[in-house]
Structure formats: C-alpha cells, structure tokens
C-alpha cells in the first residue's frame, strides 16, 4: 500500500500525504451522510460547543458521553448575543464525534476498510485499533481555529503508538483553514497530556519546548487525499473566514500491543474496540 519512499517520509518527517485515496463515490456518500446526521440532530443547546482555546472539560457530561455516541458540537461563534444562530443551523456545526466508525453504517463501512489497516501495518502498528472518529466541518465564515497540539496528548500509550488518518472530504487550502504541521516535529518531546479522573480533566504540562508557531508549514491537499501523521507531530489549523467550508474526516488509531493509558479521556467501555478488515 505504501511505497518505500512514502514510508521513509512518514518516519523521517512525521507525516505523509497520499493523494487520490478516497474516490468520488465515497466522498459523495460520506458528505451526504454527515449532512443527514446534522439534519436529524435536534439538540440546540449553545453550551455544546467545541473549542481548543480552553481544554478543560471537567463536569462536561455531554463531551464525556460523546466518546461512545454520535454527537454534534457547535462552532464557538455559532450564536449571536441573543442566542440565535449567526447563519444557517447546518453551517454552525463544528464537528460530529466521536464514534461514527462504530455507530453509523456508512462511516463504519468506510472506516474499517482493509486498505487503512494495511497503511497502519506498513508504518509499524502490529494490531491497529480505531479509538475515535470525527467529521470536522471548519465552516465558512465562522470555522474555529484549532490550536497547536499533538494527538498523543489525548491518546497516550506506552510505547507511543497513536497515528492519525486525516481524510480531505473537500479541498483544504490556506484560504479555508488547511492543516499546518512541523516537519520532523515528531522527533521532539510530547509537550502535554490530557488526563481524566472521574468527571474532571487536566492538561498536564510535560515539556517547555515551544510550539512551532513561526516554523510550521501548511499542508494544502485536494479532496480525496489522506494525510497520515505521527502522534507526536505538532499540528494546527487556522480559523476559516472564507465562504468555502473545509470538511474532513479523521480516525485516531492505536496499537493493541501498546498499553492504552487509563487516564485518557476516551475509553472503550461499551463499544467494541476493532481494527480493520483482515490484512492477513
């Protein structure tokens, strides 16, 4: 599935871009299914917003329960001062999470495909398992900024194993909030860990190494591309102030041969912990 050059880039740079991995059939089907889920979502509680400006989720049962459900979160700027949507309701959803890969038939069929497992094994995971899925909108006009972070902060394993699949459902450019990454940044330390105890969360600082605000590079990709990156790779995306959305679907995958930390906020309690179709 991966060429020698692609595997080398992943290990040396911490990421690799794979073009034309999702065909037009799946792009259309995934996008339509996400729109249907949003249309069927009745909750309009303005407290159900998603932001990375403050990672404290203490006491947020809606967030905790989303770990094994399919829930919609609003953009930070979805509501005006009177509590009304600033634009069409469907254009105010930040993301859908976090168990699409298990609970929705369309996303499940897409997520568990054999080819994604082959990629995971090609870069070193012995027993890849899907931990989380998200459909991210990055809405026009109000799409929120996502601060610099590392995914291993949220999916801590010993040894480190989490990888991220970032599927571009629409073109991602500088204009609508594409990913930014720090090449070779995965060779640096993990800067923080997001820990949960009961109904409280805490972002534990592990390193004073600064975020690569001045040295990050954009990753502009076309719809159908797949960006695969290492759990230690710092990444970020700017706010979207354009009139074009930047829809993406993500999977976070860990190795069943690694120890998954009990302090991680997301745990497999009720749903099965599965990987991909057999690659044997």
Q: What is the pLDDT of residue 53?
A: 67
What does pTM read for this prediction?
A: 0.96
Per-domain residue ranges of the chain: 4-260
**pLDDT tens-place string over residues 207-266:** 999 999 999 999 999 999 999 999 999 999 999 999 999 999 999 999 999 999 999 999
DSSP E strand stretches across the chain: 15-18, 70-74, 93-98, 128-136, 146-149, 157-158, 163-168, 179-181, 192-197, 200-205, 217-219, 226-230, 235-237, 248-255, 259-260
Q: What is the pLDDT of residue 52?
A: 66
Runs of H (alpha helix) within 88-133: 100-103, 105-111, 114-122
**To 10 degrees, the CA torsion angle through 36, 57, 154, 218?**
70
**pLDDT tens-place string over residues 161-212:** 999 999 999 999 999 999 999 999 999 999 999 999 999 999 999 999 999 9
Runs of H (alpha helix) within the chain: 4-13, 24-40, 61-65, 100-103, 105-111, 114-122
Q: What is the pLDDT of residue 48?
A: 80
Residue 39 sits at φ, ψ, to 5 deg, of -65, -35
pLDDT of residue 271 exceeding 60, the answer is yes
**pLDDT tens-place string over residues 131-165:** 999 999 999 999 999 999 999 999 999 999 999 99
Higher pLDDT, 254 or 43: 254
Q: What is the pLDDT of residue 246?
A: 98
Q: Which CATH architecture has domain 4-260?
A: Sandwich (2.60)
**pLDDT tens-place string over residues 86-140:** 999 999 999 999 999 999 999 999 999 999 999 999 999 999 999 999 999 999 9
| Rounded Cα distance, 216 and 193, in Å | 21
Q: What is the Cβ-side half-sphere exposure of residue 115, based on CA atoms within 13 angstroms?
A: 9
pLDDT of residue 280 exceeding 50, the answer is no
């Amino acid at each position: 599935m991966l060429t020698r050059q692609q595997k080398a880039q992943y290990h040396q740079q911490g990421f690799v871009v794979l073009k034309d991995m999702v065909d037009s059939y799946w792009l259309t089907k995934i996008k339509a299914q996400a729109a249907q889920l949003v249309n069927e979502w009745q909750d309009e509680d303005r407290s159900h917003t998603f932001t990375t400006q403050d990672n404290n989720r203490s006491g947020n049962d809606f967030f905790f329960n989303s770990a094994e459900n399919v829930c919609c979160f609003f953009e930070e700027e979805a509501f005006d001062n009177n509590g009304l949507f600033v634009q069409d309701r469907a254009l105010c959803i930040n993301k859908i999470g976090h168990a699409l890969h298990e609970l929705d038939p369309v996303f499940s069929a897409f997520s568990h495909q054999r080819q994604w497992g082959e990629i995971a094994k090609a870069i070193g995971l012995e027993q890849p398992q899907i931990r989380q899925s998200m459909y991210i909108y990055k809405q026009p006009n109000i799409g929120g900024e996502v601060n610099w972070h590392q995914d291993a902060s949220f999916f801590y394993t010993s040894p480190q194993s989490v990888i991220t699949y970032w599927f571009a459902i629409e073109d991602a450019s500088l204009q609508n909030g594409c990913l930014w990454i720090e090449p070779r940044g995965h060779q640096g330390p993990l800067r923080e860990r997001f820990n949960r105890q009961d109904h409280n969360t805490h972002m534990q600082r592990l390193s004073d190494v600064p975020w690569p605000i001045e040295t990050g590079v954009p990753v502009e990709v076309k719809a159908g591309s797949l960006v695969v990156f290492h759990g230690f790779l710092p990444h970020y995306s700017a706010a979207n102030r354009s009139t074009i959305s930047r829809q993406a679907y993500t999977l976070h995958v860990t190795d069943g041969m690694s120890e998954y930390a009990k302090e991680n906020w997301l745990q497999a309690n009720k749903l099965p912990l599965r990987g991909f179709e057999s690659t044997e």
